Chains A and B, each alone.
Chain A
Amino acid sequence: MATEEHGSGLQIHPMDQFVVKPLFGDGPVEWYTPTNVTLWMGIAILAVVALLVLSTRRRAIVPSRGQSVAELFYGFIHKMVEDVTGHEGLKYFPYVMTLFMFVFLSNMLGLIPMSFTTTSHIAVTAVLALLVFLTVTLVGFYRKGIGFLAMFWVSSAPLALRPVLALIELISYFVRPVSHSIRLGGNLMAGHAVIKVFAGFAGVMGVASIVPIAGIAAIYGLEILVAAVQAYVFTILTCVYLRDAVGDAHH
């Protein structure tokens, strides 16, 4: 492999940044092994604590800057849950807030050079999406019983079309966790890989590498936007799905 790289002159490994490896030593990755995943998820927890707990410890009526940011996050998600899911959905506000803070901070932390982006892994986003899927399904059946299935029976459509629509609705319901997770993981992975490719070009182009470096700067700005928007999209879709289970709004 080394000779091959030497021959081409290009050493671009855009996927290396996604490799899961143990923090200590080179052993196999067992389920309990502390890995770079553990490290960056731990940092995400510390960021949550710093952002939402430490900054609000004075409980000021007139907030400090940190407390204003914490209140901004709180108000943003609280309003989203209330607007999209309805008043009943506020019970699930801590859950939605957990998802949002984890995804948002993981995306942002992933933009630090040399960091590891946990949300670029399908394993992570798939678990997040499946948690939402299971929550919505279980809460739906718990709250509405068999009536939850009425969601698939589009009563406003002509009777003849309803079985067909029911089938389509059913398929789209089960596709939800797939699109939900791949949208997030794919966006993050693609952006980070592109930055890495540009960086590889910059390494071999000499003076002309100013072009890929400018490109990296531009894409980095775009990636900041993507990180925030994908966290927002993931959260608002969670709220939309929760409305099916909680609210009386029809699909």
Chain B
Amino acid sequence: MATEATAEAGKAVGMPQLDFSTWPNQIFWLLVTLVVIYLVLSKVALPRIGAVLADRKSTITNDLAAAEELKQKAVAAEKAYNDALANARTEAAKIIAAAKAEIQKDLDAATAKADAEISAKAAESEKSIAAIRDGAAAAVAEVARDTAAELVAALGGSADAAAVGAAVTERLKG
């Protein structure tokens, strides 16, 4: 073993732990070491690691809060969208109803006007038809009277115009 090779003086006599001549040396270097480690830890390492851990914690907390906020925003946005959609629907329905009503009104007015014109025209036509009918009836009576008088004359009688007329009128009525 190398310890044997390196130093003949390195041979242990009994327990080296109980060789009190080396104690001051060990204690001195131990105290130096502890002070150095303590300074390194308390001045540099521990504050740094503590800060990193705190940073991470706050970062995670902040990110979670931000995520929560964004989620709320998304929910609000969806709600706003749905509201807008519903509003638009009602608005559209209202506009359609209004348009329908207007069209109906126009239609009614036009229908009424057309009806009035039609009935006026019908009345006029009826009147002229009645006039024509009356004219026709008068002409038929005249023709009948003339024909009757001619028939009476042809049969050899002398027709009294007034009597023939009365008889024809009598027959036309019946």
Q: Which A residues form the contact surface with B (CB < 8 A)?
A: 1, 11, 13, 15-21, 26, 28-33, 35, 37-38, 41-42, 44-45, 48-49, 52-53, 56, 59-61, 63, 67, 70-71, 74-75, 93-95, 97-99, 101-102, 114, 118, 120-124, 127-128, 131, 185, 189, 196, 199
Q: Contact check, A120 vs B17: say whether CB atoms are below 8 A apart.
A: yes
**Residue numbers in A under 8 Å from B52 (CB-CB):** 56, 59-61, 63, 67, 71
Q: Contact check, A16 vs B1: say whether CB atoms are below 8 A apart.
A: yes
B52 to chain A, nearest CB (A): 5
A184 to chain B, nearest CB (A): 12
Additional A-B contact list (12), CB under 8 Å, known A26-B7, A31-B27, A70-B45? A16-B1, A17-B3, A20-B22, A21-B7, A37-B22, A38-B29, A41-B30, A42-B33, A44-B33, A59-B55, A124-B27, A124-B30
| B14, B23, B44, B59, most chain A CB atoms within 10 A | B23
**Residue numbers in B under 8 Å from A118 (CB-CB):** 26, 30
Which residue of A is nearest B46, CB measured? Answer: A94
B51 to chain A, nearest CB (A): 7
Taking residues whose C-beta sits less than 8 angstroms from the other chain, chain B's interface range is: 35 or more
Given the contacts A20-B19, A56-B52, A98-B38, A33 and B45 also touching, CB distance less than 8 Å: no
The total of interchain contacts (Cβ-Cβ below 8 angstroms) comes to 155
Give which listed residue, A45, A60, A124, A131, contacts B40 with CB less than 8 A: A45
- Residues 31-63 of B contacting A (Cβ, < 8 Å): 31-34, 36-38, 40-42, 44-46, 48-53, 55-56, 59
**Can you pick out 9 interface pairs between chain A and chain B where the beta carbons lie within 8 Å of each other?**
A16-B3, A21-B7, A21-B9, A30-B25, A45-B37, A52-B45, A52-B49, A97-B41, A97-B46
Q: Contact check, B17 vs A189: say whether CB atoms are below 8 A apart.
A: yes
Given the contacts A19-B12, A21-B10, A61 and B50 also touching, CB distance less than 8 Å: no
Q: Contact check, A94 vs B30: say whether CB atoms are below 8 A apart.
A: no
Q: Contact check, B21 vs A19: say whether CB atoms are below 8 A apart.
A: no
In Å, the complex CA distance between A60 and B56 comes to 9
Which residue of A is nearest B32, CB measured? Answer: A41
Q: Contact check, A70 vs B49: say whether CB atoms are below 8 A apart.
A: yes
Give which listed residue, A19, A94, A196, A199, contacts B10 with CB less than 8 A: A19
B170 within 8 A of A: no
In Å, the complex CA distance between A123 and B30 comes to 9
Q: Contact check, A123 vs B27: say whether CB atoms are below 8 A apart.
A: yes
Q: Contact check, A74 vs B23: say whether CB atoms are below 8 A apart.
A: no
In Å, the complex CA distance between A144 and B46 comes to 28
A94 to chain B, nearest CB (A): 4
B2 within 8 A of A: yes
Given the contacts A74-B53, A102-B37, A127-B31, A20 and B26 also touching, CB distance less than 8 Å: yes
Q: Contact check, B48 vs A56: say whether CB atoms are below 8 A apart.
A: yes
**Residue numbers in B under 8 Å from A127 (CB-CB):** 27, 30-31
Q: Contact check, B25 vs A94: say whether CB atoms are below 8 A apart.
A: no
Q: Contact check, A16 vs B12: say whether CB atoms are below 8 A apart.
A: yes
B24 within 8 A of A: yes
In Å, the complex CA distance between A31 and B27 comes to 8
